[in-house]
Structure 1
């Protein structure tokens, strides 16, 4: 799936959540989608949490 199609799908899901559940439902869907994206990158090996934690604790630089 292309980046354009993915973005359109995410936009449609967020628009539906805003219409159906109001602002707080929209916000909850957006936050959970972000968490799901991070978990997906960790599982696929595209995001190393130890290196990321090192950057935030000041042990390493990006």
Structure 2
């Protein structure tokens, strides 16, 4: 099992633990699944966010 699959499963488990109920709460589960998947992609190195989180560098 790769990290992307593991991250998705962890996100789903956390979502189910947080919100077990109606349709609105099911959307929370989907959100946690997406967050888990994105975090796993970052840890795998498939997604590089360094250009977005690094500060602006001046060329002076």
Alpha-carbon distance in structure 2 between the residues aligned to 1:40 and 1:24 = 25
RMSD of aligned alpha carbons: 2.8
* Structure with bigger RCO (C-alpha 8 Å, 6+ apart): 2
Q: Which has the higher helix share?
A: 1
Structure 1 runs of 4+ with >6 Å offset: none
Please state how far the C-alpha of 1:21 moved relative to its aligned partner: 1.0
Q: How many residues align?
A: 39
Scaled by the length of structure 2, the TM-score of the pair is 0.50
Scaled by the length of structure 1, the TM-score of the pair is 0.49
